[in-house]
Amino acid sequence: MRILLALSVSVLALVPAGAQKKNPGAGSQPKLAVSIVVDQMRADYLTRFAPLYTGGFKRLVTEGQVFRNAHYTHTPTYTGPGHAVVYTGTDPSNHGIIANDWYDPALGREVYCVEDLEVQPVGSTRDADRRSPKNILSTTWTDELEWASVGAAKVFGFSLKDRGAITAAGHYGDAAFWMDDQQGFVTSSHYASELPQWIRAFNAQHAPASYLKGTWDRLLEPSVYAAFTGPDERPFEGKLRGSAAGSFPYDLATLGAGNPGLIRYTPHGNQILIDVALAAVDAENLGRGTHTDVLALSFSTPDHLGHLMGPRAQELMDVYLRLDRQLGQLFDALDARLGRGAYYVSLTADHGSCDNSNQAALDGFAVQNWSGKDLDAQFGALISGLDLNVPGILHVGNDQIHLKSTDDDDWERVRDALMKHPAVRMAWTADEIRNGCDPKAEMRRNAFDARSGQVFYELASGHMDYGTDGCTHGSGHAYDTHVPVVFMGPGIPANSQRWERVHPRDIAPTWSMLLGIALPSSATGDPLPLK
């Protein structure tokens, strides 16, 4: 919580005015930093639909600098680790968020990345909202901004997902707000003892259910979508809950009756985030103080819908076309409130996504979809046939296996057994992860610590451990690691593209340099060359 920062502000107030100094360069800095993460946005979404963009995505490309070849350097590539990389500037082995959920051998159970049983939900009564950043083992660039401004900077993180908001707000942010499908935006006692009045008013007027009205149809003519994606209803695309067909149009009023969580799968999931962000700008006077404030947004709808329908669905294309316009709405509103050129923006994603393996196989690609339960059972059968000194599996997850054995000979036997599975491209022991030179082993080392397993594996490219429909992510293959990185703002080259390989962990050091603040405590990334 922010008690120490409040005390620091009180002490600073006792210092003569002439002795108080601003941050280096603070007088010329824009007053708002807008940090945007689009959950599951593949890098090619920025170019694939580019001819149709007219709003925020077009403005970012034409007025900002785009890094076309940005890749994550860790595995697994999930939401929690990716967001934490963006804000800490380092890999999961350093920031501690090694997955969305992980098995903790010391506790003998799975741990959720932002769970905190010592805090209470605020704005809801759900145990699922007992959340905080306590598992993040590094400061974030937003934390460093709070320290540099002695608590004067305002930092707000918003997302439909708790982990998307909390990793952004960090340990010392003013608040992280995430969405309860029934109540609206909530937080935890780590950040506040009660919801601010403006959030309560927003929730009363903008309940998630209130957005589920009318019909969701394509923004443009059907022929435009067919040219980019093919048919509307394709094999292996999931369907919205309650819908008999996976094709436009959708009667949201009918489908959303008693199911406010449907908003997460529609363009309205992005719109409610835009709406609450602008409410925060007005209620908290963001960008109008003496220090740079932060508005951090994580758009979860592309991930929810992407998992359900996959990257070739017309519905996903429509969500991106509408998100382009919604970001344009955000930028236009900030222009009107603060002035054009009075704020910086960064945009990236927490991971990409694969194509559906079943669909790819129909198109002639030699890949296969594997049911998670079946894969676990097949691995178990391979391992059970081994003569191990200490037999037994504690846990399988995140492409790694926790064994009961501490014998490295047993680990090697299990590794070799997994290599016999037709889906497995490569497997490693924990010792090989620690010491190996294989680039894919290094990616796992970047998310390795004492909580990790003893044997790791990677499915071959294009193979998917998931349900029949939709898509997933988590691998170290390019379709999961390759994401957009864009910076826009005063002094940043407009309409500029760079193709050298960079990394999302470079985003936090770039913000630190732009704002003249310290690097996050565990940062290993390098500032991006904004020139």
pLDDT tens readout for residues 116-134: 999 999 999 999 999 999 9
Q: Across the chain, what does the average pLDDT equal?
A: 94
Domain 26-355+476-515 part of CATH 3.40.190.10: no
Token look-up 């993180």 returns 157
Residue 409 banded pLDDT, cuts 50, 70, 90:
very high
| Per-residue pLDDT at 512 | 98
pLDDT at 246 over 70: yes
- Gap between the Cα atoms of 310 and 329, Å rounded: 27
pLDDT at 30 over 80: yes
| Per-residue pLDDT at 13 | 38
Token output for 283 = 């209620």
Quote the Cα angle for 199-56-172, to 5°. 40
Q: For the chain, what percent of residues have pLDDT higher than 70?
A: 95
Residue range 351-368, pLDDT digits in tens: 999 999 999 999 899 999
pLDDT at 402 over 60: yes
- Gap between the Cα atoms of 88 and 82, Å rounded: 10
- Gap between the Cα atoms of 353 and 471, Å rounded: 7
For 9, the enclosing helix (H) or strand (E) is: helix 3-13
Q: Which of 75, 79, 88, 142 is catalytic?
A: 79
Q: For the chain, what percent of residues have pLDDT higher than 90?
A: 93
Residue 28 banded pLDDT, cuts 50, 70, 90:
low
Q: Work out whether the CA dihedral 515, 519, 525, 526 comes out positive or negative.
A: positive
Ranges of CATH 3.30.1360.150 domains, the chain: 368-460
| Per-residue pLDDT at 531 | 86
Compute the average pLDDT of residues 306-311: 98
Domain 368-460 part of CATH 3.30.390.50: no
Q: How many CB atoms lie within 10 A of CB 52?
A: 17
- Gap between the Cα atoms of 288 and 281, Å rounded: 9
| Per-residue pLDDT at 29 | 80
- Gap between the Cα atoms of 222 and 128, Å rounded: 40
Residue 372 banded pLDDT, cuts 50, 70, 90:
confident
Tell me, yes or no, if 79 is annotated catalytic.
Answer: yes
What pTM was estimated for this model as a whole? 0.94
pLDDT at 19 over 50: no
Ranges of CATH 3.40.720.10 domains, the chain: 26-355+476-515
Q: Work out whether the CA dihedral 358, 360, 361, 367 comes out positive or negative.
A: negative
What does the buried/exposed string (b/e) look like for 80-117 if buried means 16 or more CB atoms within 10 Å of the residue's CB? Answer: bbbbbbbbbbbbbbbbbbbbbebbeeeeeeebbbbbbe
Residue range 476-516, pLDDT digits in tens: 999 999 999 999 999 999 999 999 999 999 999 999 999 99
First to last CA, the chain: 37
Distances (CA, A) of 343 to 294, 331, 436, 515: 10, 10, 44, 11
| Per-residue pLDDT at 34 | 98
* Contacting residues for 244 by C-beta, under 8 A, at least 6 apart: none
- Gap between the Cα atoms of 37 and 168, Å rounded: 9
pLDDT at 32 over 70: yes
| Per-residue pLDDT at 3 | 41
| Per-residue pLDDT at 22 | 36
Q: How many CB atoms lie within 10 A of CB 491?
A: 11
- Gap between the Cα atoms of 359 and 530, Å rounded: 40
Residue range 161-216, pLDDT digits in tens: 999 999 999 999 999 999 999 999 999 999 999 999 999 999 999 999 999 999 99
pLDDT at 220 over 90: yes
Residue 227 banded pLDDT, cuts 50, 70, 90:
very high
For 94, the enclosing helix (H) or strand (E) is: helix 92-95
